[in-house]
Amino acid sequence: MTLKIGFHSDRYPEQTTLEKTESNTQSKAVKSLVQVHFPSRNMTLSYYNDMFDLHRGDIVYVDGKLEGHRGRVVDVSYCFKIKLSDYKRVIGRADTEANGSLYMADSHFVAFDRSVIPFEKVQSWFKAPNSSEEEYVIGGEGTAVFLDRLGEIDANPQIIERGEQYYFEDRVAYISVCSGQGRAIVEGTQPYEVDFEYNNGEVKSLVCDCFCAGICKHEIAVLLQLRETLRIIEESYNELYTQSDYFAAVSKGAFFAFAMSPNKRGSVTLG
Average pLDDT, the chain: 88
Q: Which amino acid is at 238?
A: N
What CA–CA distances, in Å, run from 1 to 4, 107, 153, 232, 237?
Answer: 10, 16, 34, 12, 11
> Taking a C-beta distance cutoff of 8 angstroms, is the pair 208, 217 a contact?
no
What CA–CA distances, in Å, run from 87 to 63, 70, 84, 195?
Answer: 10, 18, 5, 37
Q: What's the pLDDT score for residue 213?
A: 78
Residue 47 lies in a domain: yes
Of residues 136 and 195, which shows the higher confidence score?
Answer: 195
Residue 71 pLDDT > 50, yes or no?
Answer: yes
Residue 73 lies in a domain: yes
Q: How far apart are CA 109 and CA 106, in angstroms?
A: 8
168 and 89 together in one domain: no
Q: What's the pLDDT score for residue 25?
A: 45
Helix (H) or strand (E) holding 205: strand 202-208
Residue 271 pLDDT > 70, yes or no?
Answer: no
Residue 11 lies in a domain: no
38 and 122 together in one domain: no
127 and 186 together in one domain: yes
Q: Dihedrals φ, ψ of 128, to 5°? A: -65, 155
Give the number of domains in the chain.
Answer: 2
118 and 36 together in one domain: no
* 194 Cβ contact partners less than 8 Å away, ≥ 6 residues apart: 182, 183, 184, 185, 186, 206, 207, 208, 209, 218, 219, 222
Residue 13 lies in a domain: no
Q: What's the pLDDT score for residue 144?
A: 87
Residue 271 lies in a domain: no
Q: What's the pLDDT score for residue 154?
A: 87
Q: What's the pLDDT score for residue 250?
A: 98
111 and 72 together in one domain: no
241 and 190 together in one domain: yes
Radius of gyration of the chain (CA): 20
245 and 178 together in one domain: yes
156 and 252 together in one domain: yes
216 and 186 together in one domain: yes
Supply the range of the domain harboring residue 57. Answer: 24-93
Boundary (domain end) residue, out of 40, 68, 93: 93
Q: How far apart are CA 43 and CA 271, in angstroms?
A: 42
Residue 136 lies in a domain: yes
pLDDT tier for residue 261 given thresholds of 50, 70 and 90: confident
The angle, 0 to 180 degrees and rounded to 10, between the axes of the packed helices 217-236 and 157-168 is 50
Residue 127 lies in a domain: yes
128 and 162 together in one domain: yes
Q: What's the pLDDT score for residue 73?
A: 97
86 and 136 together in one domain: no
Q: What's the pLDDT score for residue 260?
A: 83
142 and 258 together in one domain: yes
Boundary (domain end) residue, out of 93, 118, 152: 93
Residue 14 pLDDT > 50, yes or no?
Answer: no
pLDDT tier for residue 130 given thresholds of 50, 70 and 90: confident
- Section 178-203 average pLDDT: 96
Instruction: Indicate if the alpha-carbon torsion angle 144, 148, 152, 153 is positive or negative.
Output: positive
Q: What's the pLDDT score for residue 19?
A: 31
Q: What's the pLDDT score for residue 24?
A: 45
- In 38-173, which ranges are continuous DSSP H helix? 119-126, 157-168
Please give the model's pTM, rounded to 2 decimal places: 0.86
Residue 181 pLDDT > 60, yes or no?
Answer: yes
Strands 90-93, 71-77: pairing kind: unpaired
Query: If we measure between CA atoms, which residue out of 153, 203, 151 comes closest to residue 177?
Result: 203
pLDDT tier for residue 36 given thresholds of 50, 70 and 90: very high
Boundary (domain end) residue, out of 63, 93, 123: 93
Of the ranges 20-24, 245-249, 259-263, the best mean pLDDT one: 245-249
Residue 10 lies in a domain: no
pLDDT tier for residue 51 given thresholds of 50, 70 and 90: very high
Residue 106 pLDDT > 60, yes or no?
Answer: yes
Residue 17 pLDDT > 70, yes or no?
Answer: no
